[in-house]
C-alpha cells in the first residue's frame, strides 16, 4: 500500500510535466503554422532591413567580407551588428539559390520565435509564479499575437533579439542569488552580450544587469559576468574586424560627393550620423521629437497588446494602455522583477530619444510582461468591481462597476477578434496583393539581369531586393530623414526633393525603376512619389511590367544633360538651383 502511494506521488509530477511539454509543443506547432500560413516569403524586402541582412549574409557566405554588396562605390560595412547576418550566412552556404533559400531563413527566425515562447512560459511560471494552466494560456495568447507572427516571418533581428532578451531576463532571476554556481553567471554574461550583438540597443540590457548585480553587492558575480560578456563582445568585434570591407579603388570620386549621396551612405552605414547628426538639425526639433515619442510611447501599450495600430484602434484602446501601464508599475516594484526594472528603464529612455521609433518593434520584447500586467490589473479591477455590484454599494458605484466590467470584456473581445479574425483577414489580403506586385517586380528584375551589363547601376526604392534578384548594384532615389528633421521647416522636404536625382547621378546610374508602391513606408509618400514621377516622366522607357505596376526608365539623360534629346530632363533636374 505504501509503495503504491509512493509510486503515485512520483507519477503525478511526471504526468504533469509530460502534459505541460505536450501542450507547449502544440503551441509551438500552432505558432509555426500560423506564421507560414500568410506566406511570409512574399513580403521579403518590404521593410528593406530584411533584404540588407540577407544580402550582407550572402557576402559573408561568399567570403567577400561583411559589406553591403548592393550599394555602388567602395564596399561599406552595414550599420547592423554582425551576429544575425552571420547566422543567415549559414543559410546561404547550405542553400545558395535565391529566392529558394528564403524559406530556410524564415525558419531560422521561426526558431527564435519558438525560443521566445518557451522563455515566456518559464518567465510566467517560474518568475511571475502563476499556475501552469495560466502560464500556458498566456503563452498561447503570445503565440497568436499579430506583431510576433508578422516579425517571425521576416529575416530581421527583432524576434532573435526578443528571444535572447527574454532568455537573459529569465537567467538573471536565478543567477544573482546566493549559493548559485558562478557558471550560471557567466552564461548570463554571454547571453546579454549576444543580445547586444543582435541589436545595438541590447547594450542597455548588458549594462543594466551589471548595475543590478552591483546593487545587490554581488561583486564577485559582477566580475564573472563582466568577464564573460567582455570575452563574448570581444570575440564578435574581432570577427567583425576580420570581415571588414576590403580595399578597392573608388568608383565614386570622394571630392565631388553631393549631400544626397552622403546622406544615402549614412543611411546604410551610420545610425548615429543619419538619425542624429542629420535627422535632428535643431534644438527645437529635438524637443519636438522627445515630446512626440513620449506621447507615442504612453499610448502604444493598448494598440500593441490588441495587435491593431490604425487610428480608430488607438482611440478604442486608450483605456487598455492605462490598464497595462498601471499593471506594469505594480509589477515592477515586486522583488522578483527588480532585475527587469534595471533593463526596462534605460531601454525606454533610448526609445524616447530615438528619432525614428517603430513602437511595435521596440515593444515586442516586453510582450509577455505587458500581457501579464494587463491580466493581473484587469483581475484587480474586476475584484473591485464585483465588490461594488451588489448592495450595500451605492447606485453610482454599481453603475461604475458594471461599466468597468463591460469595458474589460470589450477589450478582451476586441483583442480576440483582432488575433483570430481581423489580422488574419488583413494578412491574407496583403499577402495576395504582395504576391501580385512581386510577380510584376520580378519581370523587371529578370529584364535587368538579362539585358544590362553587370556593371549597370539602377535607382530603385527596393534597391537591395533588386540586387538580390538581378545581381546589379542599386541605390534608393534619396534617403528621407526622420520626421523631426522636417517638423520646423515646411520647405525642407521640398529642398531635398529638388535634388532627388543628385545621388543617382553621383553613382552613375543608367536606369531608374518606379513602382506603384514606392515610398509606401514614408510619412510624405505622395509628395515624394510625385517628385519621382516628375523626373521619370521625361525619361525614355526601357521596360514595363505586363500590368504596368513597375516601369524601368533609361536615366542616362541625367548623366548627359548636354545631349540634344535630354533638354526636357534638364528642365526638371533642378541642378542649377544649388
| DSSP string for 101-170 | THHHHHHHHHHHHHHHHHHHHHIIIIIS---HHHHHHHHHHHHT-HHHHHHTTSSSSHHHHHHHHHHHHH
**Would you state the pLDDT for residue 70?**
93
Asked if residue 53 has a cis previous peptide bond (ω within 30° of 0), the answer is no
Residue 323: pLDDT over 70: yes
Exposed, middle or buried, 504 (CB in 10 Å: 0-12/13-18/19+)?
A: buried
**Would you state the pLDDT for residue 252?**
45
- Which residue from 161, 184, 182 is spatially nearest to 171, judged by alpha carbons? 184
**Would you state the pLDDT for residue 190?**
96
Contacts of 394 (CB under 8 A, 6+ apart): none
> What value does the mean pLDDT take over residues 119-130?
92
Residue 245: pLDDT over 80: no
Residue 260: pLDDT over 60: yes
What's the pLDDT band for 449 if we cut at 50, 70, 90?
very high
**Would you state the pLDDT for residue 76?**
81
What's the pLDDT band for 460 if we cut at 50, 70, 90?
very high
**Would you state the pLDDT for residue 9?**
40
> What value does the mean pLDDT take over residues 409-423?
89
What's the pLDDT band for 214 if we cut at 50, 70, 90?
very high
> What value does the mean pLDDT take over residues 117-146?
93
pLDDT over 90, % of the chain: 51
Write down the domain spans for the chain.
452-577
- Strand 550-554 and strand 511-515: the pairing is antiparallel
Residue 243: pLDDT over 70: yes
Residue 256: pLDDT over 60: no
DSSP calls for 26-91 = HHHHHHHHHHHHT-GGGGTTSSSHHHHHHHHHHHHHTTS-S--TTSSSS----SS-SHHHHHHHHH
Residue 279 has phi, psi (to 5 degrees) of: -85, -20
Q: How far apart are CA 359 and CA 389, in angstroms?
A: 38
Q: Which residue has the cell 505541460?
A: 20
pTM: predicted TM-score of the whole model, two decimal places: 0.91
What's the pLDDT band for 561 if we cut at 50, 70, 90?
low
Cβ(541)–Cβ(551) under 8 Å?
A: yes
pLDDT over 70, % of the chain: 91
What's the pLDDT band for 310 if we cut at 50, 70, 90?
confident
All three cell numbers of 192: 546579454
Q: Which residue has the cell 510576433?
A: 148
Reported as a single tens digit per residue, the pLDDT across 351-375 is 998 887 788 899 999 999 999 999 9
**Would you state the pLDDT for residue 521?**
81
Residue 520 has phi, psi (to 5 degrees) of: -65, -20
**Would you state the pLDDT for residue 577?**
43
CA 427 to chain centroid: 18
User: In whole numbers, what is the pLDDT of the chain averaged over residues?
Assistant: 87
Residue 336: pLDDT over 80: yes
Cβ(372)–Cβ(124) under 8 Å?
A: yes
> What value does the mean pLDDT take over residues 111-140?
94
**Would you state the pLDDT for residue 513?**
96
Cβ(313)–Cβ(306) under 8 Å?
A: yes
> What value does the mean pLDDT take over residues 216-244?
90
SS3 of 189-216: HHHHHHHHHHCCCHHHHHHHHHHHHHHC
- Which residue from 418, 153, 421, 429 is spatially nearest to 310, judged by alpha carbons? 418
What's the pLDDT band for 233 if we cut at 50, 70, 90?
very high
Amino acid at each position: 500500500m505504501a509503495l503504491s502511494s509512493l509510486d503515485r506521488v512520483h507519477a503525478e509530477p511526471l504526468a504533469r510535466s509530460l502534459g505541460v511539454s505536450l501542450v507547449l509543443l502544440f503551441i509551438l506547432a500552432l505558432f509555426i503554422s500560423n506564421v507560414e500560413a500568410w506566406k511570409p516569403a512574399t513580403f521579403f524586402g518590404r521593410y528593406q532591413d530584411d533584404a540588407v541582412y540577407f544580402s550582407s549574409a550572402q557576402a559573408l557566405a561568399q567570403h567577400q567580407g561583411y559589406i553591403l554588396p548592393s550599394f555602388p562605390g567602395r564596399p561599406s560595412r552595414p550599420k547592423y551588428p554582425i551576429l544575425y547576418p552571420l547566422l543567415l550566412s549559414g543559410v546561404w552556404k547550405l542553400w545558395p539559390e535565391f529566392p529558394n533559400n528564403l524559406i530556410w531563413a524564415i525558419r531560422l527566425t521561426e526558431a527564435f520565435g519558438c525560443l521566445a515562447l518557451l522563455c515566456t512560459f518559464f518567465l510566467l511560471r517560474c518568475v511571475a509564479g502563476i499556475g501552469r494552466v495560466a502560464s500556458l494560456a498566456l503563452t498561447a495568447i503570445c503565440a497568436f499575437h499579430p506583431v510576433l507572427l508578422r516579425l517571425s516571418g521576416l529575416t530581421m533581428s527583432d524576434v532573435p533579439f526578443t528571444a535572447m532578451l527574454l532568455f537573459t531576463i529569465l537567467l538573471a532571476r536565478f543567477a544573482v542569488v546566493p549559493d548559485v554556481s558562478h557558471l550560471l553567471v557567466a552564461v548570463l554574461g554571454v547571453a546579454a552580450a549576444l543580445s547586444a550583438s543582435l541589436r545595438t540597443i541590447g547594450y542597455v540590457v548588458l549594462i543594466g544587469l551589471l548595475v543590478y548585480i552591483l546593487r545587490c553587492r554581488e561583486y564577485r558575480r559582477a566580475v564573472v559576468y563582466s568577464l564573460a560578456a567582455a570575452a563574448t563582445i570581444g570575440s564578435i568585434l574581432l570577427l567583425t574586424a576580420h570581415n571588414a570591407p576590403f580595399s578597392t579603388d573608388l568608383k565614386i570620386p570622394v571630392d565631388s560627393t553631393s549631400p544626397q549621396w552622403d546622406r544615402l551612405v549614412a543611411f546604410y552605414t551610420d545610425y548615429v550620423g543619419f538619425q542624429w547628426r542629420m535627422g535632428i538639425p535643431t534644438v527645437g526639433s529635438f524637443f519636438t521629437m522627445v515630446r512626440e515619442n513620449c506621447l507615442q510611447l504612453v499610448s502604444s501599450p493598448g494598440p500593441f497588446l490588441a495587435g491593431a495600430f490604425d487610428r480608430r484602434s488607438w482611440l478604442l484602446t486608450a483605456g487598455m494602455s492605462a490598464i497595462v501601464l498601471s499593471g506594469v508599475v505594480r509589477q515592477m516594484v515586486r522583488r522578483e522583477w527588480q532585475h527587469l526594472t534595471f533593463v526596462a528603464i534605460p531601454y525606454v529612455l533610448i526609445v524616447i530619444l530615438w528619432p525614428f521609433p517603430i513602437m511595435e518593434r521596440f515593444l515586442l520584447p516586453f510582450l509577455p510582461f505587458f500581457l501579464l500586467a494587463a491580466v493581473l490589473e484587469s483581475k484587480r479591477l474586476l475584484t473591485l468591481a464585483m465588490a461594488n455590484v451588489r448592495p450595500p454599494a451605492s447606485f453610482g458605484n454599481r453603475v461604475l462597476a458594471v461599466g468597468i466590467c463591460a469595458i474589460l470584456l470589450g477589450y478582451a473581445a476586441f483583442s480576440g477578434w483582432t488575433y483570430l479574425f481581423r489580422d488574419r483577414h488583413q494578412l491574407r489580403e496583403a499577402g495576395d496583393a504582395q504576391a501580385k506586385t512581386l510577380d510584376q517586380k520580378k519581370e523587371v528584375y529578370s529584364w535587368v539581369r538579362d539585358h544590362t551589363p553587370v556593371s549597370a547601376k539602377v535607382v530603385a526604392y527596393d534597391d537591395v531586393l533588386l540586387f538580390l534578384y538581378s545581381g546589379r548594384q542599386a541605390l534608393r532615389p534619396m534617403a528621407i530623414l526622420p520626421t523631426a528633421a522636417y517638423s520646423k521647416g515646411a520647405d525642407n522636404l521640398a529642398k531635398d526633393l529638388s535634388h532627388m536625382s543628385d545621388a543617382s547621378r553621383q553613382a552613375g546610374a543608367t536606369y531608374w525603376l518606379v513602382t506603384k508602391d514606392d515610398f509606401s513606408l514614408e510619412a510624405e509618400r505622395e509628395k515624394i512619389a510625385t517628385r519621382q514621377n516628375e523626373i521619370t516622366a521625361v525619361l525614355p522607357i526601357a521596360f514595363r511590367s505586363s500590368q504596368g505596376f513597375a516601369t524601368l526608365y533609361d536615366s542616362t539623360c541625367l548623366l548627359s544633360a548636354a545631349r540634344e534629346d535630354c533638354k526636357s530632363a534638364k528642365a526638371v533636374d533642378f541642378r542649377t538651383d544649388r
